[in-house]
Structure 1
Amino acid sequence: MKGHVSCRNLTASPNYLHGGTQLTLTCDVGDSIVNSTATFRRNLEELGSIQSDINNCYVNSSSTLCPSTCSCDENNNLMIWKYTPSSTPSSDQIFYCDFIGDSGSFTTSTTVKRAVLQLPTISPSTSSYNVTIGGQLPPIKCTEACWPACNVKWTGPNGFSLNGDTLKLANIQKTHSGQYRCRVENVVGYNNIQFITVTVQYGPDTMALDPAYSIIERREGSSIGPLNCSADCEPVCNFEWIYPDGQKKVVGNILPQHILQKKNDGQYKCKASNKIGTDEKIVTVTVTYPPENIRLSPAGNEFVANEFSNFNYVTCLADCVPSCTYQWTGPTSSSTNQLQINSIRRTAAGSYKCTVRNEIGTDVSSNINVIVYTRPTQVNKMTVVCTGSTTASIAWIPDKTVVPGENFTVKYKTNTGQIQLFPFEEPSTRDDIYLLQVDSLAPSTKYTFTLESKNGLGRAESNEYTCTTMAASEESGVSGALIGGVVLISIALLLIIIVIALILLRKFRILTTDLSSPPCGCPNCITTCIQRIARLSKKDEGPYMNTVHTNYVNTTINGPEEGNVNTEVTNDDNGSDKPYDDLVRRTSNSSEKPYDNLHMSPTGTQNDPSSHYANYENVNKMKKKKEKPPPVKQKPKKKLNS
């Protein structure tokens, strides 16, 4: 047997032992392998041998050609053996190649490690990290102990994957929260048991209400709630409900059901907070209610304005939700909360009220009274009659729309004389017709009369009226015929004045007053406003007096024969068919009154037709001591100047 020489090299592929994985052992002889033998061993255990001649390679010194487990490479002087362990050995293995050939013999070996997959380690060893949103995670390394070397990979939430043994996270968001595992893998398999937990912390986010209200409108007295408030936050948030007044609070995320009052109008706030931050969700509640607490500014129930000025200083205010509309009503109207009357007229005087309404309801303010102060107007309904040699009677109808009331002054003069003043103060009752007697006039003299009306705002003067007093000689030796003529003239004048006054009064009222307002306290008649009528005769004698009733008929405002006056005089109690009774004169020194009053019927009898007349009371016919006076021829009637 030839001497032994060492084999040049023995290699193993792969470089690990793993059950079921084929291991290829290659013995590089370095010389020709013809007529040589190579034996392969694992430790002391023989795995098999290969014989080679010039042309073939045989297994285990037999005539059997090498199967798939062995081969020869004569060109490269290689003898190859393939070994597949049934299991992974518990330790590393040493493999040998014993070679015998023409050039000598040798033994060579190689060590093959067993395949290993051990549990990796993570450093730092912290298993849980809390990171504020937007922050970063420090580097975390996964250390593996395996053969052959392992592939290392980090996996995490939402499909996160990172190749390599070091985990790095920056600008962390909520989606980064979760477990991160270190996965190690080789021929043995893989292991991902080791992991860390990353918790991304953030303040309240994505707040919501259930039901999802942002605006709620409810009638006062109705209910609201419960409302559930939620928020996404880490760590878990604490909740609190704050009422509109900012004082009442409810701990917890549920706003309980409650009855709405006016003070609940406003914003309800759900406040969520944790150590990272605070947020809130707002629901706006509108509590609706009808108008209430109507108030006028400035306060008061009576306001005064001068005619033709702008009246706009009374404002109506009210509490109401939704907002109110305002309407002033009265003699005129205004569609704003401010009573506005531009260039106010006297016809705008009267009672006003403010109506306030919204879609819930309506309310009305208390009444206010607007008084329009006016300048005096010119008296144009006036009659002047010279009733004797020294007296004149003046009758006129005042303008009752003038406020404040007027004072009157009669101005009279002769053609050459100085103007005389005769003042007349308007009574508080403000009669419909005023009668004034001017005396101490000169006989047979023509007088010119004017009437001045005045109040605090100004004055006005009437047109001129003239009359001529009687001559003094006309007052002596009056005959019975003259007395009768005077009586007829007196009665005619009296009736004419009354008729004219009634007609003018009616027309004046229609033009200047509201027919619904009772004139002089009587809604159905126009005769009761006549206060007194006096007619004087001679200077030293009393007035002529009518001794019978004068009855006015068909004087109601709405009667079919409106305004007709029956001027017929009724018969006296003795059945006389004379159209009038005798009028007698009273002496001026008589203790009796120089005239009788023509007065109104009592207020309580306004609806009694029988009371609608004026009468002279306590009238007695008086006889003169003188016997029949000499007959005096009756003069024709004088015309009245007006």
Structure 2
Amino acid sequence: MSTLRIDCHSATTPGNPSVTSYTWTYKGSSFSKEAVLTVYNISRSQKGEYVCTASNTLTPSGDSQRQGAADRHINVEVEFPPSISGLPSTHWVVEESQLWINCSKYTSPGNPATTNYTWIYGQSVFSNEEVLQVDSINRTKAGQYTCTVSNVVGSESASVSVDVQYAPSLSGFPSSYQVVEDSDLWINCRNYTSPGKPSRSNYTWSYEGSVFNAVAVLQDRGINRTAGGLYTCTVNNEVGSDSATVNVIVQYAPSLSDFPSSYGVIETSRVWVDCSSYIVQGHPPTTNYTWTLDSSVISTSSVLEIHNTRRNQEGQYTCTAYNTLTPSEGPQQLGSATGQVLLDIQYPPTISGLPSVMNVTEFSSFSVDCSNVTTPGNPGGTNYTWTHNGYTVSAEPQLVLESMSRNQSGLYTCTASNMLRPSGGRLQLGTASEPVSVDVQYGPRDSVTITPSGSLSMVEGTGALTATCTAECNPSCTVTWRKDNIPLAGQMSLSNVSRTDQGDYTCQAQNGIGDSQEKNIRLTVYTPPSVPTDFQVAAVTDTSVSLQWTSSFDGGADQTFTLLYKSELESHWLTWNDNIADPGISHYVSVHIQGLTPAVTYHFQLYATNVYGEGEITVLNTTTTLSKASVMSKHGITIGLAAGLGILVVVALVTVSVVLCRRQTQHTLVVGGEEPTNLPMNSFMPRPSPFEHDSVDVNTKSCDVTKQSCED
């Protein structure tokens, strides 16, 4: 507050007479009679126009007295700072919403009216705007904010406490919770709650979308499997809420439904009871099995199988199906169910245990054996029929359907029957039927391709060959190769083709779905012919010799044989025949050479030829022909020493050597008696009997080597 002082006297020029009176008026009212206007602690309400009137008394002669006056108007402006009034002490705002406080709303402007604004937060200038604005405030920005308003005269401040409110939150909430059936479910939502502000939290639990409880603890004493599912905890305060969902998994033991109390079977046949066909899966669904008889475990499979059943095997068999229960709290435990079946001989036949549903992969084979679950009657001789859509599809106990297609899905009914011959009763047909629903599932289509395909041919030593085997399979097929039905290691890849590579190559692809598939290619390797075998002397006379050999592999092309000869008296080889026909592999070839000189050693060479070249040569080293005298002796002409005639008996030693085998064989020619037409080989070089192998005589002409001519 300040003092207003205005001296009217100092601004007045006195009149005449000089005695001057002063009057101050404010808003039409006399305010003061002093020359100096003094207002202590002037306030803004005292602003305005003040009028100073200076006057004197005029007394002219002969006239009446009157006042002389002069006025001075002064406008008084009272300056003062702006003020703040009504700013709330606390401002509540929800987290992530906008903070907006307009300080000008609570400000009374000063004089002069120009006002400056400053917002202080934490002793630092936060804003120089009249509005405190934070678009998405979070809890860390809570606290005291001070607004200061000012002009050139002065300033005033006021503070507001910004209280950022937020909803409670849930963290660490389990996504699933496992509990054993008939035990207690207990989940405290409060254990996973971070309180909001205000801190008071409310809780609700909902199940499958419907609220059923308004407490923090989810509790269910003796819970059963139908109570499993999604439970949602919602925690909220005045500001908002947060939710978390837990999947309550109620674990329970498996159970057996419609488990047969008895099972009939013909003596010496097979008992086959699949416990899994009657199982109602527990949770978790993985089920283990044991079969016991008189407390002794006889099987750890789901199937009770007894071959060649005997009546002393009759008894009460128990199947125990169990799973492992693993609650979220507490030790794991076993859940089990038992079923007992009496193995008994019953009449007439019954069918029990045929699976209600069977899955099969499309294009694969499907089979189900009704006899495995049939208790035959007595007498035996049970007949079976399978029907589908009113038609008989099989008259065998085992229904086998090849290459199943999807339109073959449906109910297949097995009917087992026998002819009952009750004592004192008439014959009647006893039957039992049970359906199985066949669900054809679609798997990969089998397809095997070999590239290159078909029959392949290569000339020996001309390069490499790689065959690629592919198959459209899902999952991917395992591909294996065989050559001539002998497994190969790895792929079909030949670095340099040789004659040993010739053969049939088979690619087999399989993935466990359906039958494996195979594809074949034939590789023919063309080579010069192989050396003929068993080249030997078949017969010898004084002027002729018969030779024979066995035809070998022709190299993949037509082959002919060339036979060369020369006597011990000649130095050059002569061609006897260079176009001897090939009768086929492993067949005999026989030739008869005439016109030879008696008692002369001849040498023979033999090799095969095809379009790919000449094969290796085999040599028959020596053959000694018989003398004419020996031939005459053979016909019974006796010449004695006493007559002076000597018969030279030539014992011919025949030695055969095959160059490739480096083997020698001796032949002994016996002189005397009947003329030998065939001389057998000795034990070191046996040849097959003509009765055991085909023999082809290519000597269709009789050739005389001395005349160099042949006759038909």
Q: TM-score range by the shorter chain?
A: 0.3 to 0.5
User: What TM-score, normalized to structure 2?
Assistant: 0.34
User: What TM-score, normalized to structure 1?
Assistant: 0.37
Q: Which has the larger radius of gyration?
A: 1
Between the two structures, name the one with larger relative contact order (CA 8 Å, sep ≥ 6): 1
